C-alpha cells in the first residue's frame, strides 16, 4: 500500500439552489489517491467539479457523503491543515495588506514563531518575485502578482502537501514558467503537490499522475504516459510546393489540410502509405519540410473523455 498524501473515496456533494431548491450534483462519487512526493494534476473543464473537490478537501465545503483523508487525517482536520499549504482559485486577499503583512497573518495562523515568520516571509517574497512590490498594498497588485502572493502564503508553513487551485491562472508565460519551476522544486524538496489546471501542456510536462474530471465524475486517472494511446494516430506532413501547383492528388487522403503561400500541411491517416505519399509529393515538385508521426496527446485524451462524459 503506497504512502498516501490524499485518499478520496466516493466523495459526493449535492447542493440545493437557493430558491427553487433544485438539486445540483457537483461531485458524483469521486475516488482518487495521491501518493506522497508526487505531483498530481487534476484537470477538467469549467464546472467539472475540480474546485468543489478541492474546497471539500480543504474543509471549506462539507461533503454530502463519502470520505477523504489528508496526510492520514480524516477531513476536515485541523491537525492536517497545519501541514497543508493552499492556494484558492482566483485568490482574494485583504487588499489593504502588503504581501509581508499577508504572510505574517498566514504565519500567525499556522503558529509560526515571530522570528521564523519574518525570515520565511522574506525568503518567499523573493522566491515568488515580489521583492520590489513588498511595500505596496495588495490592492495595487495585478492578477499575476496576487497569484504569486497567494503561492507565497501557501508556503508559509513549509507544508508537506501543497494544494493549488488553478495556480497558472492570470500568469504570463514567464510567470507560468516560474510557477512550473516552483512546483518542480517543491517535489524535489520531497513535498506533494496537488494542483488543478486547464493548461494541459503543464500537466503533461510536470505531473507524475493525472486525473480527469467531468460532470462531477472522474473519467480517467493514471500516469500521463500510460493514459495516452502510444499507437500512431496519423502523420503530420509539411511540404513546400509552388503556389500554382495542382495538389489535389496530395490532399485527397489527408485531413486538416492547410495551404498558405508555398506551404502545404496536412495529416495523413494512420494506415496511409507515407512513403508513397512522399514520392507523389516529390513528383509534383514538392520539397519535404517536416514529417512527424502523431501520437495521442493528453489534450486528445482530455477532449475524448470530456466528450464521452457529456
What are the DSSP calls for 188-233, one per residue?
A: HTT-EEEEEES-HHHHHHH-SEEEEEETTEEEEEE-HHHHS--SEE
Least separation in angstroms between CB 14 and other proteins: 11
Contact call for residue 229 and other proteins (CB under 8 A)? no
Which residues sit opposite 195 in a β-bridge? 41, 164
The stretch among 101-109, 120-128, 201-209, 281-289 that binds other proteins (CB under 8 A) is 101-109
Exposure letters 18-36 (e unless 16+ CB within 10 A, then b): eeeeeeeebbbebbbbbeb
**Does 76 sit behind a cis peptide bond, omega within 30 degrees of 0 on the bond before it?**
yes
Closest CA to 15 of 168, 216, 179, 192: 216
Contact call for residue 30 and other proteins (CB under 8 A)? no
The stretch among 30-38, 85-93, 128-136, 267-275 that binds other proteins (CB under 8 A) is 85-93
Least separation in angstroms between CB 78 and other proteins: 5
3-state secondary structure of 159: coil
CB 179 within 8 A of CB 26: no
How many whole angstroms separate alpha carbon 303 and alpha carbon 59?
A: 31
> Nearer to other proteins by C-beta: 108 or 259?
108
Contact call for residue 111 and other proteins (CB under 8 A)? yes
Contact call for residue 78 and other proteins (CB under 8 A)? yes
Contact call for residue 59 and other proteins (CB under 8 A)? yes
The stretch among 108-116, 121-129, 179-187, 231-239 that binds other proteins (CB under 8 A) is 108-116
> Nearer to other proteins by C-beta: 12 or 304?
12
Among 33, 52, 100, 219, indicate the residue that binds other proteins (CB under 8 A): 52
CB 215 within 8 A of CB 198: no
Among 108, 223, 282, 295, indicate the residue that binds other proteins (CB under 8 A): 108
User: Hunting for cell 508537506 — which residue is that?
Assistant: 160
Sites of contact with other proteins (CB under 8 A): 15, 52, 55, 58-62, 78-79, 81-82, 84, 86, 88, 91-94, 96-97, 105-106, 108-111, 150, 153, 157
Amino acid at each position: 500500500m503506497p504512502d498516501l498524501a490524499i485518499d478520496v473515496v466516493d466523495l459526493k456533494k449535492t447542493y440545493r439552489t437557493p430558491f427553487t431548491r433544485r438539486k445540483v450534483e457537483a461531485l458524483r462519487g469521486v475516488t482518487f489517491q495521491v501518493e506522497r512526493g508526487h505531483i498530481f494534476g487534476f484537470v477538467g473543464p469549467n464546472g467539472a467539479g475540480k474546485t468543489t473537490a478541492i474546497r471539500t478537501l480543504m474543509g471549506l465545503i462539507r461533503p454530502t457523503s463519502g470520505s477523504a483523508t489528508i496526510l492520514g487525517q480524516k477531513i476536515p482536520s485541523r491537525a492536517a491543515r497545519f501541514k497543508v499549504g493552499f492556494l484558492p482559485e482566483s485568490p482574494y486577499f485583504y487588499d489593504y495588506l502588503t504581501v509581508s503583512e499577508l504572510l505574517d497573518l498566514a504565519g500567525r495562523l499556522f503558529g509560526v514563531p515571530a522570528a521564523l515568520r519574518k525570515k520565511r516571509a522574506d525568503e518567499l517574497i523573493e522566491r515568488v518575485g515580489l521583492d520590489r512590490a513588498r511595500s505596496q498594498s495588495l490592492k495595487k497588485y495585478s492578477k499575476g502578482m496576487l497569484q504569486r502572493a497567494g503561492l507565497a502564503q501557501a508556503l508559509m508553513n513549509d507544508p508537506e502537501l501543497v494544494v493549488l487551485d488553478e495556480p497558472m491562472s492570470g500568469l504570463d508565460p514567464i510567470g507560468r514558467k516560474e510557477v512550473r519551476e516552483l512546483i518542480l522544486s517543491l517535489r524535489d524538496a520531497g513535498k506533494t503537490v496537488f494542483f488543478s489546471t486547464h493548461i494541459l501542456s503543464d500537466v503533461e510536462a510536470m505531473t507524475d499522475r493525472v486525473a480527469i474530471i467531468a460532470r462531477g465524475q472522474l473519467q480517467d486517472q493514471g500516469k500521463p504516459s500510460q493514459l495516452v494511446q502510444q499507437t500512431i494516430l496519423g502523420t503530420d506532413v509539411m511540404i513546400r510546393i509552388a503556389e500554382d501547383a495542382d495538389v489535389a492528388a496530395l490532399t485527397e487522403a489527408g485531413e486538416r489540410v492547410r495551404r498558405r503561400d508555398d506551404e502545404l500541411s496536412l495529416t495523413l491517416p494512420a494506415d496511409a502509405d507515407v512513403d508513397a505519399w512522399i514520392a507523389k509529393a516529390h513528383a509534383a515538385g514538392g520539397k519535404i519540410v517536416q514529417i512527424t508521426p502523431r501520437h495521442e496527446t493528453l489534450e486528445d485524451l482530455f477532449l475524448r473523455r470530456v466528450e464521452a462524459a457529456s
